[in-house]
A and B are shown apart, each in its own frame.
Chain A
Amino acid sequence: MNIIVCLKQVPDTESQIKIGPDGKSIVTDDIKWVMNPYDEFGVEEALRLKEKHGGEVTVVGLGPKRVTESIRTALAMGADKGILVSDEALDGSDSLANAKAIAAAVKDLDYDLIFTGQRGVDDDLGLVGATIAELLGIPQFSIIVKVEVAEDGKSVKVERPIEGEALIIESNLPALITAQKGLNEPRYASLPGIMKAKKKPLEEKTLADLGLDSAEFGEGARKLKILELTPPPERAAGKIVEGETPQEKAAELAKLLHDEAKVL
């Protein structure tokens, strides 16, 4: 079975995020870029399915040239091929436009499953997976923690956690799955894998290559406009609960939770 994994490059979650002078974007100078952690789950799941059912894993990334590094990481983990959709006209695109470009890049490929992350850890929108599925006209299963493909490779059973219960859904293939934490423990790119990655095919495509009109992309075409970015409020100082005995401390804590935090 052939699997496509969509990959976004995002700032490392340990990066210090600073808001830029325009108040609408972040300063990217000192940022370390990594593969979106939810996409790592997608890559890992695709590799496990490939190991079981055979076939090929293709990684599709979108963005500037630096995204190549993250695609190479996926290739080093064991994926077979990479596609980078890169075009200056894509700068500033919203989720809808990005999904359009990705859908165009994969629509003619031979695939049974597509993985995306359930959301990017940068914008936290969670729109791209569903939009790609809609554009391709295939079923979509979001926030999935378990995937089982039938022996014959024709259908899939997925599990989605809901409020302490599990929703189990079966579907025909092809389908799109958005990966959630818990799906698996992603492997490391091994050193032999890293050395092999360079020799694996990595194709680069512009919007024109995909037959798309660049006017539909970029800042100007945004349906979703960012008006302003503000940092989260600074965390207030902690409080140490006083008291001689555990009973006294518990009583004091209950009082604080009721009167001050107002959660009880």
Chain B
Amino acid sequence: MYFNEEHNALRDMVRKFVDKEINPKVDEWEEDTVPLHELFKKMGDLGLLGITYDQKYGGQGLDYWFDLVFLEELGHIKADGVPMAIGVHTHMATPAIHEYGSEYLKETYLKPSIAGDIVSAIGVTEPEAGSDVAGLKTKAVKDGDSYIINGSKLFITNGCQADFVTLLARTDDKPGFHSFGLFVVPTNLPGFVISKKLDKLGMRSSDTAELFFDDLRVPAENLIGEPGEGFIIQMKQFQHERFYALPGTYIKARDTINMTIDYIRQRMVFGKPLIKNQVLRHRLVDWITEIECLKHLTHHIVRMKIEGLDATREISMGKLIAGQLSFKVSNGCLQMFGGMGYMNESLISRYFRDSRLLSIGGGADEIMKEVIARFEGI
């Protein structure tokens, strides 16, 4: 109903790519991080890193259904850290450059990002500012035709491998939302320091870094959009980031359920297959029903995006459900695996660990609720 022959061909291609180029390697990457330059080059060559972006910069100029198909298929990757690393590059660190960046920024950073020649990261969170983005302390002070940046960023995905960070910094002490700049900060500039690679509960194939900026001098032309407007631009960029999470979530949740059904079909407990317990079957279909709801909310969001409507309310709702659902399903399925589910050798334990992030990262559940409450006037 929603997909034409080209959408299906893209789906087949990404599925094959995931099966051949990614899934056979994820166990290894869970140990020592996905090598992004190698992976992104392959994806760039296939036209996967700029599906909705302007053809002028090497993008495909296609609609959001193609983007949705791409993100759905990434949901089949057997370690969420990998699609997260890809999503940071395609949906978190580059949309603002595409929408608000100068010709210079697009030519210099967007084009090679789409080609898969360089890797990007998004730097918003700080040790003392996560949910409260406006509370961030990293400063960018104008000095002639450059800005001098001082501060630090925490939990930065792709931070150890990135060639540039799309960085939100304070350009002014004035309170309010018009005192920020969103910068493209190349990581080869003096004053850029990766303090460490962080050790995490889940998403272990993805690298997460703490970054320091010590008198880092970046040309003023690396500012995205109008001076002072970085916060507003980042809030818009967050909509792409949060949308990214939805398709992969319902696909992964369904894969998790399918894997669990296979297990409980053959697992004999009290003399019969576990699946014969009605309570378990009912639990599974509750989740399958919720998955279907999230999928259709996501499809609705795609239609809104194509119509050019503001989907912030719906995306926030989707992100809220997605975070809750992915954890609920992976946790509940782990329960059905019993002691086996608790063992690291079973995939379900990885899915459980990975799923915990979504209710925190990219705006915690409570922040989504704040956004929705504002829309609802309550």
Q: How far is the CA of A190 from the CA of B45 in the complex (A)?
A: 7
Q: Which residues of A contact B310 (CB under 8 A)?
A: none
Interface residue tally on B, bucketed by range: 10 to 19
**Assuming A195-B6, A198-B5, is B60 touching A188 (CB within 8 A)?**
no
Number of A-B contacts (CB under 8 A): 43
Instruction: Spot the interface stretch: B9-17, B117-125, B269-277.
Output: B9-17
| A160 contacts the other chain (CB 8 A) | no
What is the distance, in angstroms, from A199's C-beta to the closest C-beta of chain B? 11
A169 to chain B, nearest CB (A): 32
B50's nearest neighbour on chain A, judged by CB, is A191
Residues of B within 8 A of A189 (CB): 9, 12-13
**A contact residues around B9 at 8 Å (CB):** 69, 72-73, 76, 189, 194, 197
Could you tell me the dominant secondary structure of chain B's interface residues?
helix
Task: Say whether A231 faces chain B, with CB atoms less than 8 Å apart.
Answer: no
What are the residues of chain B within 8 A of A191 when measuring CB–CB? 10, 13, 46-48, 51, 60, 62, 66
Residues of A within 8 A of B10 (CB): 191, 194
* CB-contact partner of B46 in A73, A188, A198, under 8 A: A188
Against B, the Cβ 8 Å flags (1 = close, 0 = not) of A63-83 are: 000000100110010000000
CB within 8 Å of A: which of B115-152? none
- Whole-angstrom distance between the Cβ of A97 and the nearest chain B Cβ: 29
Report how far A193 CA is from B10 CA in the complex, Å.
Answer: 10
Choice from A69, A73, A190, A195 contacting B62 with Cβ under 8 Å: A195
CA distance A72 to B13 in the complex (A): 12
Chain B, residue nearest A195 (CB):
B6
Cβ of A192 under 8 Å from chain B: yes
Q: Which residue of B lies closest to A192 (CB)?
A: B47
Q: Which of B5, B13, B62, B66 contacts A188 (CB 8 A)?
A: B13
Assembly CA distance A120 to B158 (angstroms) = 44
Q: Which of B5, B12, B60 contacts A192 (CB 8 A)?
A: B60
- Give the complex CA separation of A99 and B165 in angstroms: 58
Q: How far is the CA of A193 from the CA of B13 in the complex (A)?
A: 11
Cα distance, A76 to B9, chains bound together (Å) = 9
Q: How far is the CB of A223 from chain B (nearest CB, A)?
A: 35
Q: How far is the CA of A194 from the CA of B17 in the complex (A)?
A: 15
A185 to B, closest residue via Cβ: B20
Measured CB to CB, the residues of B under 8 A from A are 5-6, 8-10, 12-13, 16-17, 45-48, 51, 60, 62, 66
24 chain-A/chain-B pairs, Cβ below 8 angstroms: A69-B5, A72-B5, A73-B9, A76-B13, A188-B46, A190-B13, A190-B45, A190-B46, A190-B47, A191-B13, A191-B46, A191-B47, A191-B48, A191-B60, A191-B62, A191-B66, A192-B47, A192-B60, A194-B6, A194-B9, A195-B6, A195-B60, A197-B9, A198-B5
8 residue pairs, one from A and one from B, having the closest CB atoms? A191-B47, A194-B9, A190-B46, A192-B47, A190-B47, A189-B13, A188-B13, A191-B60
